[in-house]
Amino acid sequence: MVTESGCWFWMAHLINKGYGQFWNGEKVVLAHRASYSMMVGEIGDMDVLHKCDTPCCVNPDHLFLGTHRQNMEDMARKGRSDKNWKVRGSDVFHSRLSADQVLEIRRLYATGAHSQRALARQFDVS
C-alpha cells in the first residue's frame, strides 16, 4: 500500500515495534533492510533509518544508512525512545566524572604507564 506521503507500507507480518519482517529462505530479515539492500545497495554493518519515521515503510527513498548510535539519536530526537538514553556523561545527575576527567583518563591510559585499576583509584571510581 502506498500512502499520500509516499510511504510503501509493508503489508505482511509486523513485529511488535511495527517493522516488517519475513523469512528469506535462510533467516528472518527486516523488510526495510531488505528493501534498502535490493534497491539501493550494500548495508554492511550499518543500520537502516527511516526519514519518514514510519517503521513499516519500505520505500527506499525514505530510508538511509547510519550507525547504531545515529539510529538511537534519531529515535530519541523523534520522541520514540523508551528511555532518555541521549543523556550521557556529566549531563547525568549522578555522574562522577566530568568530560575533561574522562579525556584525561583516556590520555593517561593511552601512554601505557597507567593501569585501569590505578586510574580508577586516582579518579575515585570503580
Domain with residue 38: its CATH number is 3.90.75.20
- Total of domains in the chain: 2
16 and 47 in a common domain: yes
Is the pLDDT score of 86 beyond 90?
no
Chain centroid to CA 58? 18
Neighbour count for residue 32 (Cβ, 10 Å): 25
103 and 66 in a common domain: no
For residue 99, the enclosing domain spans 90-126
97 and 77 in a common domain: no
82 and 94 in a common domain: no
96 and 78 in a common domain: no
Which tens digit of pLDDT belongs to each residue from 5-39? Answer: 899 999 999 987 889 999 999 999 999 999 999 99
